Amino acid sequence: MGTVVLLALTGLGLGALYFLIASGLSLVFGLADVLNFAHGLFLSVGAYATWWAGGRLSGPWGFPVAVLFGVACGAAVGGLVELVLIRPLYRRPTEQVLVTVGLSLAGVALLQAGWGADPRRYPSPQWTQKVTRVLGADVPNDRLLLIGVAVVVLAGLLAFLRFTRYGLVIRAGVENRAMVSALGIDVRRAFTLVFAIGGALAGLAGALGGVYFGSVSPGQGASLLIFAFIVVVIGGMGSVTGSAYAAVAVGLLQQFVNYYGTAGAGDICVVALLAVVLLVRPAGIAGRAAT
């Protein structure tokens, strides 16, 4: 029982991380049709910014402030990438892919040049290293932190999409961008916003991923991005709730199969799950809708 609870909460923690990355990726793809391979870079920027600030701040509020700084850096880089690199290339998908892939490679190289290729120890606060007893299992607090943050982010994103003007524009734009313009709305401003939101969430994933993995390294973003892409496809492009379901499914599947099967089998099962979903529901769990 204890093992199952621990595995489940660890899987959910991993799923929470995937969700933070995938929800932004999904909105960006759903609205702007951009396959953003630089999304992993946003994560690394958030992780390194938090690491940098966390090493300089102290006291009980040091780490939360560092995380906020990481999130802000992720948002800024996300918004800037849209304005400077993506905006001139709308309707040119091949060039977009090349630019975002190039950017992510250059970003990894820059991080290596600045802080070396080796993992850096992360300034996690003490309490995240401790455990909490849940249903007979000693669950590390970092997993509970991830799950809690992801739930808050999910609720916040859904409220934003549902109750704000920009949320309305994004949901409509995911469905039919041209018609949003035909209503007199400058839909490209929503693109920048969605990139910034995606950057902020990826930055948050980077900041909390550092706690989860105990360190930051330049390649972390790229390896997490692969699973985030799988989550986006399973969940349905543009769907935040779809991403949430898919992230939970992928995280749990990976943990349980890796524990009970051989190590690495979980990753194969995730790819198998992707194939099955694509066969049964080619548009993903949620279809194309920003909910």
Distance CA 33, CA 52 (A): 33
Considering only residues 27, 38, 180, 246, which one is a binding residue for other proteins as defined by CB under 8 A?
180
CB of 171 to other proteins, least distance (A): 6
The answer to whether residue 170 forms part of the interface with other proteins (CB under 8 A) is no
The Cβ-side half-sphere exposure at 206, using a 13 Å CA radius, reads 38
- Of 84 and 183, the one with the shorter C-beta distance to other proteins is 183
Q: How far is CA 196 from the centre of its chain?
A: 13
Reported as type and span, the H/E element at residue 231 is helix 220-235
Considering only residues 4, 98, 152, 179, which one is a binding residue for other proteins as defined by CB under 8 A?
179
Q: What backbone phi and psi angles, to 5 degrees, belong to 139? A: -100, 125
- Of 33 and 267, the one with the shorter C-beta distance to other proteins is 33
Instruction: Tell me if 49 sits within 8 A of 184, measured CB to CB.
Output: no
The answer to whether residue 163 forms part of the interface with other proteins (CB under 8 A) is no
Distance CA 213, CA 211 (A): 6
Distance CA 190, CA 168 (A): 10
The answer to whether residue 132 forms part of the interface with other proteins (CB under 8 A) is no
The answer to whether residue 89 forms part of the interface with other proteins (CB under 8 A) is no
Provide the token pair at 47: 């992780």
The answer to whether residue 224 forms part of the interface with other proteins (CB under 8 A) is no
The answer to whether residue 178 forms part of the interface with other proteins (CB under 8 A) is yes
The answer to whether residue 185 forms part of the interface with other proteins (CB under 8 A) is yes
The DSSP string of 188-220 is HHHHHHHHHHHHHHHHHHHHHHHHHHSEE-TTH
CB of 291 to other proteins, least distance (A): 7
- Of 46 and 242, the one with the shorter C-beta distance to other proteins is 242
Scanning 123-131, 146-154, 175-183, 267-275 for contacts with other proteins by CB under 8 A, the matching segment is 175-183
Considering only residues 182, 226, 276, 278, which one is a binding residue for other proteins as defined by CB under 8 A?
182
Residue 179 to residues 122, 162, 187, Cα–Cα distance (Å)? 47, 19, 10
CB of 168 to other proteins, least distance (A): 5
Site for other proteins in 260-289 (CB under 8 A): 289
84 DSSP assignment: I
CB of 287 to other proteins, least distance (A): 9
Distance CA 214, CA 220 (A): 12
The answer to whether residue 159 forms part of the interface with other proteins (CB under 8 A) is no
The answer to whether residue 151 forms part of the interface with other proteins (CB under 8 A) is no
| Cα torsion 130, 4, 271, 173: sign | negative
Q: Which residues bind other proteins (CB under 8 A)?
A: 168-169, 171-172, 175-176, 178-187, 289-291
